[in-house]
Amino acid sequence: MQFGIFTVGDMTTDPTTGRTPTENERIKATVAIAKKAEEVGLDVFATGEHHNPPFAAPASPPVLLSHIAAATEKIVLSTATTLITTNDPVRLAQDYAYLQHLSDGRMDVVLGRGNTGPVYPWFGKDIRDGIELAVENYALLHQLWREESVRWQGKHRAPLQGFTSTPRPLDGVPPFVWHGSIRSPEIAEQAAYYGDGFFANHIFWPKEHTASMVDLYRRRFEHYGHGSADQAIVGLGGQVFMNRNSQEAVRQFRPYFDRAPVYGGGMSLEGFMRETPLTVGSPQQVIERTLSFRDYVGDYQRQLFLIDHAGLPLHTVLEQLELLGGEVVPTLRKEFAALKPAHVPDGPTHAARLAALGAPEPVTGTAATDLWTGTRAEDENRRAS
């Protein structure tokens, strides 16, 4: 079981001080949070992708994650999410393969459609094509990471004729892919079809909705022959705010909840905690609530928590990480491990996937010849010398 955090990079005004961080402060704070996550023993740090204020999340997550890779040693770097709909699959294939090399395989990617409708026209797309774009673009990305001379034609981008994406995936093993969704059964189906992971955001909806989405994915995973339903690779999001005194946790978090753009003006904090997985309370309450997720999604592989949103200052987030890594996650590891059957896989890592393939031989290029000139670079170099 992998435990970690994810950030959406919002620059929300702190309601207790009236101060809004600058973009530079928020970006530097995100790096500090990632480093702290590794320091306290978490397994995963993930960042969202946004292209508009009030977010300082990277428009190109590999930029941030490459920087963090250079500043860390163990933590897996991921996204939450990468926009498969509005990004060119060719660029995604190249950028994330590059990150894979720079991080020595300490990365994977969560693909999704995002939650900002205007992003579609900003990149020349139509939101009404969202599902179609997700399906077509991933089909191409999947092919680019597995074939060295790609011939492809689709509806939403120019065709490719013998194209080779570089760099090639590290050790010939493509980055692991999670398909992230809150409400779209088509995305659960897509994840199942490819035998990839399914990441249920699990933040704004009741547990019954998350349970139904995960169940669909598991049943279809088995249908496509990737293993039994309980061997499907599932990840969940979640939100927590902690204090050793549960009443103090509620008192501290309430002003942030009440004024946060994603919460404010709607359901009360108590109502939201009752109807969704948001947990505000003591570390023990977070442990108990998180363990209950298994009751309705089964054994799963990754749990990510959102802890740095809604205007919470950096020092508070770092305190939350101390509680998460020092008190909550060690207990969760032990409890989940004791419950997990032996045939249920662990969370995906590059090393484990490489070992499962029997350490394949390095992939050799089939496109050494320039497809436009018909010559090879090494041949041209010999002539020149």
**For the segment 127-145, what is each residue's pLDDT rounded down to a tens digit?**
888 889 889 999 999 999 9
The band of 264, judged by pLDDT with boundaries at 50, 70 and 90, is low
**What does the H/E/C string look like for 87-134?**
CCHHHHHHHHHHHHHHCCCCEEEEEECCCCCCHHHHCCCCHHHHHHHH
**For the segment 181-205, what is each residue's pLDDT rounded down to a tens digit?**
887 899 999 999 999 999 998 888 8
The band of 115, judged by pLDDT with boundaries at 50, 70 and 90, is low
- Which residues have C-beta within 8 Å of that of residue 327, sequence separation ≥ 6? 283
The CATH number of domain 2-384 is 3.20.20.30: yes
- Residue from 350, 355, 323, 354 nearest 76 by CA: 350
- Report the alpha-carbon distance of residue 242 to residue 280 in Å, rounded: 6
The domain locations on the chain are 2-384
Q: Give pTM, 2 decimals.
A: 0.90
- Residue from 65, 97, 95 nearest 79 by CA: 65
**Is residue 99 within 8 Å of residue 69, measured between CB atoms?**
yes
